[in-house]
Amino acid sequence: MIISMTGYGKGTCRVQEFEVSAEVRSLNHRFLDVSVKMPKQLENKETAVRELVKKYLTRGRISISFVLRQDAGSPIGLALNEQVVDGYIALLEALRERAKIEAPLSIDHLLTFSDLFTQDNNDDYSDSAWEAMEKAIDNALAELNAMRLREGEEIQKDVHHRVVLISNMVAEIESLSKGRSKIEFDKQYQRIQTLLDTNELDESRLEMEVALLAERIDVTEECIRLKSHNTVFLESIAQAEPAGRKLNFLLQEMNREANTIGAKASDAEIAHLVVKIKEEIEKLREQVQNIE
């Protein structure tokens, strides 16, 4: 089963006075790389969010963001850090006097500092907000996966079609190359006999050398291996577990066999088919880069 690594999901959940919206975006990546933007009040839950992601995804560059809303009039879960505020006021007043600034100190000057507030010890706040966030990210990840599966189905159709094309072209190569070793043997044997027009020619040695030469153009083994890779490729995209890494390896091996066939080919039609096979392999490689 093919799963795309690109997608988008959004989830929303409300628990008591809290409403959380979660957005998840995923792009292709060799490993699982998760970036999370958490509300300050729940930053201690980032590890828990990452563990939730791992239940759904195994590869991809994942970006998650949350918006936490709270009903007006309800506790906000933050407390003023009075000691820190007093310290900043003293420092700013000293700076104002030292720099001979006449303008009075304002709230805007203090709001440039990020540690004026602390998380209070309201466990009900933390538990309710986290419950909303957990359900929101769960919904977002489910929607993301549904989108990745839909896109994966389209990718699977495309790669299946291309692998079948490659298999058909390999069959053509096998048909074209059938008997070419014998033809090449006879051709080279006659050519060497003409060049060595002598009665002292060692015929057994000549046959052995020409046979070795003819064998070098035989692509039977390469075609068999390439067909085997195609079979494994199709089996892999039909399995339940993620197959992206395995498919990448198979494409490397498929390309290797195609290159060897091309190097051995002494026939223009076979060479042309090899070029087309390599084009399809490259298109498959582009698709596989986006498969989990």
- The domain locations on the chain are 7-75+120-149, 80-110, 152-288
Render pLDDT for 206-253 as a digit per residue (tens, 0 to 9): 566 555 555 566 788 899 999 999 999 999 998 878 888 899 999 999
Please tell me the distance from the alpha carbon of residue 65 to that of residue 46, in angstroms, as a whole number.
Answer: 11
The predicted structure's pLDDT at residue 202: 63
Taking CA 278 as the corner, what is the angle to CA 275 and CA 281, rounded to the nearest 5 degrees? Answer: 155
The predicted structure's pLDDT at residue 212: 55
Q: With contact defined as beta carbons under 8 Å apart, do 218 and 174 qualify?
A: no
Render pLDDT for 164-191 as a digit per residue (tens, 0 to 9): 999 999 999 988 887 665 666 666 666 6
Instruction: Say which CATH architecture domain 7-75+120-149 belongs to.
Output: 2-Layer Sandwich (3.30)
Q: Is the pLDDT of residue 78 over 90?
A: no
The predicted structure's pLDDT at residue 76: 53
Render pLDDT for 11-69 as a digit per residue (tens, 0 to 9): 999 998 889 999 999 999 888 999 999 887 788 889 999 999 998 898 899 999 999 88
Lowest mean pLDDT among 1-5, 141-145, 197-201, 264-268: 197-201
Residue 259, classed as helix, strand or coil, is helix
Render pLDDT for 256-280 as a digit per residue (tens, 0 to 9): 999 999 888 777 888 899 999 999 9
Predicted TM-score (pTM) of the model is: 0.66
Please tell me the distance from the alpha carbon of residue 30 to that of residue 61, in angstroms, as a whole number.
Answer: 8
Q: Is the pLDDT of residue 123 over 90?
A: no
